[in-house]
Structure 1
Amino acid sequence: MKKALLSFLLLLLLATATQAQQKHFYFTTSDSVQLYVRVAGQGKPCLFIHGGPGSWTKYFYALGGDVVEQDMTMIYVDQRGCGRSGSPANNDYSLARMVQDFEELREYMGYDKWILMPHSFGGTIATEYAYTQPTHVTATIYVNSTLNLNNSLESYIVEGARMLNVPASELRKPGTPVGEALGGVVGKLHEKDLMYKMMYPEKKMFEQMNAVMDTTLNWHFGSNVWNYKEYEQDFTVKSAQIKSPVLVFAGKYDYAIGPKHYKSFQFPNATYQVVDTGHCPYQEQPEEFRKHVRRFLAKLN
């Protein structure tokens, strides 16, 4: 009886510890937008800034990114107008408002500083945050991120043309807006069942990613972001002013961002890790991804 009671208490303690490390809630911003927040893991706090624009955080932690929860307390936030979060009544998706959302959440959670971990388009928002709030950033881990959206889109068109085995000039006529040309490339890649090659060397990885995406979720930011030209600025200019430590992941086969896009970054205190993956190293090589993150974190102590 005593042994059974001790076993029950041990299980209860373990369950309580797990609940303490994993929770989710809705945080209301100063302009009354409800943001979905999930907290998991242990260690230094790290804010994950998802890509899209307009996606959600689940694609990261559901596809292998959760390996870093063994080393950090991960704070996953679906951005306003994204995923499980609400939309602003006044359609405010400005860059300054995005940064303010994160700042309000940081203060609410009681962190003086945290690490930033942006992925893909999230790199633009993370760079603005680190640039405007340097005293609240311990370090930044850029996971296959763009710091110049137009540069990445231009690269996407060129690489897409290569995948389709046609001249880029055939897909991008003189005077055609980059967005319009991009739409044509995406359509043709879908027709040829080659879309996966822009993100992954293997099609099964692309299928796994699609399986965790939910088209019924909020996509309001993704529909409105193009009204804000500030997201199209060249953030590599601001990267030169970010003094905190930076780790940059780049994939040799990441044609969504551009495999050489990282070479334009100007961070004064950066470590660059080029890996044999496409756009999602946390999914393709999760243990390798964690190894490089851990090595970087060890230098912060």
Structure 2
Amino acid sequence: MKKILLALLFILGSVLPQLALAQQKQFYFTTSDGVQLYVRIAGEGKPCLFIHGGPGSWPKYFYALGGDVVEQDLQMIYVDQRGCGRSGGSETDDYSLARMVQDFEELRQHLGYDKWLLMPHSFGGTMATEYAYQHPQRTQGLIYVNSTLNINNSLESYVNEGARFLQVPVAELRKPGEPVGQALGGVVQRLNEQGLMYKMMYRDKAMFDAMNAVMDTTLNWQFGSKVWNYEEYGQDFTAKTASINVPVLVIAGKYDYSIGPEHYKTFKFPKATYRVMDTGHCPYQEQPEQFRKYVSKFARKLD
């Protein structure tokens, strides 16, 4: 009997690591224009593409800080966008919205999925909306996590809330007629100088510090430095939401001042469920189990 138990333990010891590897893999995918994208797949269930924010960041901040709880219910596909993180850059400096969407679609075809879910976070909402607008037949559903669909609207919130935390009038931070984007740098600088930057995204500074610790500034930042050369990213994507007729889950944070705590109210999706959490910008980090419950319940209802 003891020998049988030892044999079983040996078999399990050999098989379990292989199962873990089967559920998690990483590789580079080369796009049609020759850009190498870093891809990581983890979890089991319906396939779901995570579209990270920034712009110019990488998806590790999500799965390393609690977002991996959704891997219990979904097969998550994490891709570092071109010019971001561990991925390569474009030799022709093509970081257009159309090219980003094409990257996602080429990856879907490569992986052999007929349809998949999209889970954008923050600035990723712009790209997810454009993908779903162009490829509705390939989009099983959308899970927006504290996403902006109108960057200028979110920047207005950022400047206004930044002034509130700094206890100064908005006019002190923004000149009359000045585009909101031009005022942003000054607001960020003053928030940093006074140790208040964390309040735009979190109520707990320790969580803000944990998020910053995950970031690696030595990695590729080409997209983040070039994205503002493309006017299409500044459009109001909420205008397109009325024609995106797939199931949508919108998760927002009551204290998310980087996006705007009421930004989600501008969305016009015909089939949307809204969940406002008692969090800031990163609900997966602040309340991971509640976050998972909302995502899991939504995913189970899909065909």
Length-normalised TM-score, structure 2: 0.98
Q: Percent identity?
A: 72
Contact residue 84 and residue 220 of structure 2 kept, 8 A = yes
Provide the residue aligned with 1:111 in structure 2.
113
**Cα distance in structure 2, aligned partners of 1:283 and 1:256:** 16
Residue in 1 aligned with 2:20?
A: 18
What residue number does 1:31 align with?
33
Aligned-partner residue type, residue 80 of structure 2? D
Whether the 8 Å CA contact 2:44–2:75 is kept in 1: the answer is: yes
Q: 1:80 aligns with which of 79, 82, 87?
A: 82
Residues 113-151 of structure 1: per-residue CA shift (max 9 Å, x gap): 000000000000000000000000000000000000010
- The equivalent of 1:142 in structure 2 is 144
CA-CA distance at 1:179 after TM superposition? 1.9
Cα deviation, residue 229, structure 1 = 0.5
Of 99, 102, 122, 1:100 maps to 102
Distance across 2 between alignment mates of 1:290 and 1:119: 15
Shift in Å at residue 8 of structure 1? 1.3
**Cα distance in 1 for residues equivalent to 2:241 and 2:226:** 25
Q: CA RMSD in A?
A: 0.7
The equivalent of 2:127 in structure 1 is 125
Letter in 2 for 1:153: L
Letter in 2 for 1:86: G
Partner secondary structure for residue 214 of structure 1: coil
What is the aligned counterpart of 1:243 among 240, 245, 261?
245
In the aligned structure 2, how far is the partner of 1:86 from the partner of 1:175?
Answer: 38
TM-score (norm. length: structure 1): 0.99
Q: Distance in 2 between matches of 1:208 and 1:234?
A: 32
Deviation digits for residues 146-165 of structure 1, max 9, x if unmatched?
00001001110000000001
How many residue pairs get aligned? The number is: 301
The AA in structure 2 aligned to 1:54 is G
Q: Distance in 2 between matches of 1:44 and 1:11?
A: 28
Which position in structure 1 is the counterpart of 2:194?
192
Give 1:175 shift. 2.6
Aligned ranges 1:276-295 → 2 under 5 Å: 276-295=278-297
Question: Shift in Å at residue 12 of structure 1?
Answer: 1.5
Query: What SS does the aligned partner of 2:259 have?
Result: coil
- The AA in structure 2 aligned to 1:23 is K
Match of 1:8 among 7, 10, 34: 10
Residue aligning to 2:204? 202
- The Cα shift of 1:10 comes to 1.3
- Alignment match, 2:153: 151
Q: Which amino acid aligns with 2:274?
A: Y
The alignment status of 1:265 with 2:267, answered yes or no, reads yes
* Runs of 4+ that moved beyond 4 A: none
For residues 177 and 140 of structure 1, the distance between their equivalents in structure 2, rounded to whole angstroms, comes to 31
Moved more, 174-183 or 129-138: 174-183
Unaligned runs of 5+ in 2: none
Query: Which residue of 2 is the match for residue 253 of structure 1?
Result: 255
Q: How much has 1:260 moved relative to structure 2?
A: 0.3
8 Å contact 2:152–2:181 — kept in the other structure? no
Write the distance in 2 (CA, Å) between the matches of 1:286 and 1:93. 32
Q: Secondary structure at the match of 2:145?
A: strand
Q: Which residue of 2 aligns with 1:55?
A: 57
C-alpha displacement of 1:235: 0.2
**In structure 2, C-alpha distance between the alignment counterparts of 1:283 and 1:168, rounded to whole Å:** 31
Code of the aligned partner of 2:152:
N
Alignment partners' CA distance in 2, 1:289 and 1:119:
13
- SS of the residue corresponding to residue 301 of structure 2 reads helix
Deviations 1:29-52 (A, max 9, x none): 000000000000000000000000
1:77-103 per-position Cα deviation (integer Å, ceiling 9, x unaligned): 000000000000000001110010011
Secondary structure of the residue aligned to 1:300 is: coil
- Residues in 1 aligned to 2:198 and 2:282: alpha-carbon distance in whole angstroms: 12
